[in-house]
Amino acid sequence: MAFSIGGATLESRFFLGTASYPSPEVLGDAIRAAGTQVVTVGLRRQLSGGAGAGDFYRMVRDSGAHLLPNTAGCTTAREAVTLARMAREMFGTHWIKLEVVGDEYTLQPDPWELVEAARELARDGFEVFPYCTDDLVTCNRLLDAGCRILMPWGAPIGSGQGLLNPTALRTLRARLPDVPLVVDAGIGSPRDAVQAMELGYDAVLVNSAVALAHDPVTMARAFRLAIEGGRLAYEGGIMAKQDMAVATTPVTGRPFVL
CA 201-207-211 angle, 5° bins: 140
Task: Tell me how far apart the alpha carbons of residues 100 and 89 are, in angstroms, rounded to a whole number.
Answer: 20
Residue 88 predicted with pLDDT over 90? yes
pLDDT in tens, 155-164: 999 999 999 9
Average pLDDT value for the chain:
91
pLDDT value for 49 = 58
pLDDT value for 123 = 97
From the CB of residue 9, how many other CB atoms can be counted at a distance below 10 Å?
Answer: 9
pLDDT in tens, 25-72: 899 999 999 999 999 998 776 555 555 566 677 777 788 889 999 999
Which of 13, 97, 221, 231 is catalytic? The answer is 97
pLDDT in tens, 218-258: 999 999 999 999 999 999 998 888 888 887 776 666 666 66
Question: Is 115 a member of any domain?
Answer: yes
The CATH number of residue 201's host domain is 3.20.20.70
Task: Tell me how far apart the alpha carbons of residues 181 and 183 are, in angstroms, rounded to a whole number.
Answer: 7
- Kindly list the distances between the CA atom of residue 243 and the CA atoms of 170, 196, 198, in Å, as whole numbers in the listed order: 21, 24, 21
Overall size of the chain counted in residues: 258
Question: Is 248 a member of any domain?
Answer: no
Query: Which domain, by its residues, includes 24?
Result: 3-236
Task: Tell me how far apart the alpha carbons of residues 51 and 22 are, in angstroms, rounded to a whole number.
Answer: 14
Question: Is 142 a member of any domain?
Answer: yes
Question: Is 145 a member of any domain?
Answer: yes
pLDDT in tens, 96-151: 999 999 998 999 999 999 999 999 999 999 999 999 999 999 999 999 999 999 99
Question: Is 177 a member of any domain?
Answer: yes
Task: Yes or no: say if 204 and 197 are a contact pair by the CB < 8 Å rule.
Answer: yes
pLDDT value for 97 = 97
Question: Is 256 a member of any domain?
Answer: no
Say whether 97 is catalytic: yes
DSSP letter at 64?
T
Nearest to 14 by CA among 236, 184, 234, 128: 184
Which residue ranges are tagged as binding site for 1-deoxy-D-xylulose 5-phosphate?
158, 185-186, 207-208
**Number of domains composing the chain:** 1
User: What proportion of the chain, given as a percentage, has pLDDT over 90?
Assistant: 77
Question: Is 197 a member of any domain?
Answer: yes
pLDDT value for 54 = 65
Residue 177 predicted with pLDDT over 70? yes
Per-residue exposure over 59-88, b if at least 16 CB sit within 10 Å of its own CB, e if not: bbeebebbbbbbbbbbeebeebbebbebbb
DSSP letter at 28?
H
